[in-house]
Amino acid sequence: MQKPVVAVVGRPNVGKSTLFNKIAGSRISIVEDTPGVTRDRIFADCEWLGHKFSLIDTGGIEPFSKDIILSQMRRQAQLAIDTADVILLLVDGRVGMTPADLEVSNMIRKTKTPVLLVVNKIETKSLEKDIFEFYNLGLGDPIAISAEQALGLGDLLDEVIKSFEKSEIDFEEDDRLKIAVLGKPNVGKSTLVNRLLGEERVIVSNIPGTTRDAIDSVFKYYGEEYVLIDTAGLRKKNKIYDDIEKYSIVRAVAAVERADVCLLLIDAETGITEQDAKIAGIAHNRGKAAIIVVNKWDTIDKDNTTIKSFEKDIRSKLSFMSYAPILYISALDGQRVNKVMETVLQVSNEHAKRITTGLLNDIISEAILLNQPPSDKGRRLKIYYATQATIRPPTFILFVNTKDILHFSYVRYLENQIRNSFGFVGTPIKFLIREKSDKDGK
């Protein structure tokens, strides 16, 4: 049995994200005094009195709006409702009951899932009288809280865990492969995620910045479970006008930290940009396996030199990521999307590849014979031996007589020789340099 799922639902601007963050204990969802800011459901693992559960923060429900974003947010909230074990309907005690609250309550009353009616923004005893009108929603006794001041949260969580089934089995440490989908706004990240998932789990819109948070989605591929992380689109710093985008960037970097494999989406229509290089650098510097995915390839007029010239441009501007394979796809119509997971598994295996010390030193010795190490002021660099220290990313220790003579260009040469012999497609390689005396080297 999985951990119980608790979904926080309600119309926009009632404090869902504030409540979510107080329970989760960190600023995971965006909090801004603007209706509709939280546009996708957000997940967090939480615990109260030894009971573990997953918390979902949903996009605000606006039942009477025909706006495309708010309409899709309703559908997102419905997905959360359909999968929740407990639903928290959050309303605003200061504003009072609204027609939208009634519409939302009608929407969730159809489920057999336990529902807790939570009246937010009740900061003082004198305001508690404001909760009584919410009995008209027909959802039982209202629970008064102030998410901002963390008032009443203990009583609320006590009620939450009472609603759980008595027998709970906690998740073990999650060892599923995690795949982060990276890219600028409007490059097609959510479309690719939906195509891979086979269901509409993430809002898709042609408005840049639609996906403001990183969303985790679990799916199966040939019987194995994987986790897709759809990250917020990163913008250039000079285009960041509000705190919302700043928090999104922090989360995108955090998503890379959690990921095993990163998919860097490039827009075929605009080509490789400086911002693409910055995003790629985030994954590279953190030692993540990576695949360059050129999306919207179906929209490009092509001849027999198109791919070659496009790849040349990518390799030039992303020279530090020459190891990353390049895929040309159309997420919208599914062209070659089947190659994505095949390549993910390939680079994941390469990311975890380990080379024996004996075989590694044979390659290093051959490389030294082909190209002598550099020297300085009559002293030549000696490489005594090498060994692989870790995987993910593959990290090698070189034991040398002096670090100062070892130029980065010779390290790059050794890296190329290792790649020529062992592959390591899609993964960066790191080197640690250790000094040993000639006596120790012998």
DSSP strand pairing (51-57 vs 5-9): parallel
| Cβ atoms of residues 93 and 120 within 8 Å | yes
* Between residues 241 and 40, the one the model is more confident about: 40
**10 has binding-site annotation:** yes
Distance CA 183, CA 150 (A): 36
Is the pLDDT assigned to residue 320 strictly greater than 90? yes
Omega within 30 of 0 (cis) for the link into 393: yes
**420 has binding-site annotation:** no
**93 has binding-site annotation:** no
Distance CA 124, CA 134 (A): 18
Instruction: Give percent of the chain above pLDDT 90.
Output: 48
* Between residues 247 and 360, the one the model is more confident about: 360
Distance CA 432, CA 212 (A): 37
pTM (2 decimals)? 0.65
Distance CA 203, CA 190 (A): 7
Instruction: Give percent of the chain above pLDDT 70.
Output: 77
**206 has binding-site annotation:** no
Which range is least confidently modeled, 71-85, 121-135, 385-399?
Answer: 71-85
**186 has binding-site annotation:** yes
pLDDT tens-digit map of 214-248:
567 888 899 899 988 877 555 555 454 444 444 44
**123 has binding-site annotation:** yes
**154 has binding-site annotation:** no
Q: Does the domain at residues 357-441 carry the CATH identifier 3.30.300.20?
A: yes
Distance CA 76, CA 200 (A): 9
Handedness of CA 398, 401, 405, 410 (dihedral sign): negative
pLDDT tens-digit map of 257-309:
789 999 999 999 999 988 888 888 889 988 999 999 999 999 999 889 999 99
**423 has binding-site annotation:** no
Question: Residues for the chain: how many in total?
Answer: 442
The set of residues, in sequence order, having a beta carbon less than 8 Å from that of 157 and lying 6+ positions away, is 23, 48, 49
**260 has binding-site annotation:** no
**295 has binding-site annotation:** yes
Region label for 288, one of left (φ > 0), alpha (ψ between -120 and 50) or beta (otherwise): beta
Which range is least confidently modeled, 6-15, 67-76, 258-267?
Answer: 67-76
**14 has binding-site annotation:** yes
Burial code (b: 16+ CB inside 10 Å, e: under 16) for 58-88 equals bbbbbbebeeeebebbbebbbbbbeebbbbb
CATH number (3.40.50.300, 1.10.10.10, 3.40.1280.10, 3.10.20.580) of 5-162 reads: 3.40.50.300
**120 has binding-site annotation:** yes
Domain boundaries, the chain: 5-162, 177-351, 357-441
**436 has binding-site annotation:** no
Assigned CATH for 177-351: 3.40.50.300
Mean pLDDT in residue range 134-155: 94
Judge whether 177-351 and 357-441 match in fold.
no
